[in-house]
Amino acid sequence: MVVFQYLKGVKTTPFFNGLYSRIQLQMISYDQLVKQDSWARVVDLFVECLPMDSLGFKHETASEGRPPYSSSDLLKLFLYGYKNHLRSSRKLAHACEVNLEVMWLLKGLSPSARKIAYFRKNNAKAFKQVFRYFVVMLKDMSLIDGQTIAIDSFKIRAQNALKNNFNQKKIDRHLDYIDAKIQAYESVLDQADNADEKQEIESEIDYQNTKKKNTKQIEKQLHDSGESQISLSDPDAKSVVLHRNIINVGYCVQAGCDSKHNLFINNSTGTVNDTHALSPMALDAKELLQMDTECTLR
């Protein structure tokens, strides 16, 4: 059936059953636009069951102005994004404005990309606790039995470039190089007669002194961290041998998997290699699942 609409007496483009005009006013709820088996509904139900305070999420308060975003709403956004390949803060912020499922999930809220990024940064430990809480839920549902745990490792590359990863040996090498450059410029400066040439050399010396100051700051960060190496762009990443003796900055990820339905139960990214990682992972799985004994496969 062809239906014609009129807007202020002007005949508009006809539309057919199943199609609609862009200028047509409709009364419809967002709930009708989200399928009953949508991942957004799963995320909404799961997060509403979580004890957000005991998991360690930091709640913001505001005495004036707009009320702060709820931690549960921002967590829903991240869980939805992980499933749908929306990892960056800007993509998540954009989804809040154009994705119908996200609009339904957050009830129309549109947090900024900066707000989303700070939520992830300030609640890193709480995110891990959510995963562990979910594993306990799976055990209560008898989807995990904890009798046999397989533990293995794999290495992935981080966003941090190798030039932005430092240890004490690399810092000492940089400082020695900078000192040698400064000494060479000072020797040339003593022999220079032209004023313009002297000014150019002095600018180079100032530049090298700035580099030396920045390197000293990195050395202080390394000492304060108590670690053997430090990464500037991705602080958790380490210099590791990825493959074929090629060194790059990344993660040596340890993962534990239950044998009943092959579900992951724990993970760790804190080590440079997996030489001594088996025992801590096995003990962590035993504590998490509250098992007296378990069989561990490597």
Grade residue 95 by pLDDT with cuts at 50, 70 and 90: very high
Helices and strands counted in the chain (H then E): 11, 9
pLDDT at 63: 63
Is 242 within 8 Å of 272 (Cβ atoms)? Answer: no
Work out the pLDDT band at 19, boundaries 50, 70, 90. Answer: low
Q: What is the pLDDT of residue 134?
A: 95
Confidence at residue 24, expressed as pLDDT on a 0 to 100 scale: 79
Angle (CA) 67 73 78, round 5°: 130
> With bands split at pLDDT 50, 70 and 90, how would you rate the model's confidence at 8?
very low
Q: 150: burial class by Cβ within 10 Å (0-12, 13-18, 19+)?
A: middle
Q: How far apart are CA 288 and CA 132, in angstroms?
A: 7
Mean per-residue pLDDT over the chain, rounded: 86
Q: How confident is the model at residue 11 (pLDDT cuts 50, 70, 90)?
A: very low
Q: Which residues pair with 148 in a beta bridge?
A: 295
Q: Burial level of 23, CB count in 10 A (0-12/13-18/19+)? A: exposed
pLDDT tops 50 at residue 248: yes
Find the distance separating the first CA and the last CA of the chain, reported in whole Å. 66
Range of weakest confidence among 4-8, 61-65, 139-143: 4-8
At 128, the pLDDT band (50, 70, 90 cuts) reads very high
Cα distances from 26 to residues 15, 29, 102, 267, in angstroms, run 14, 10, 21, 49
To the nearest whole percent, how much of the chain has pLDDT over 70? 90
Please state the rounded mean pLDDT for residues 51-79: 85
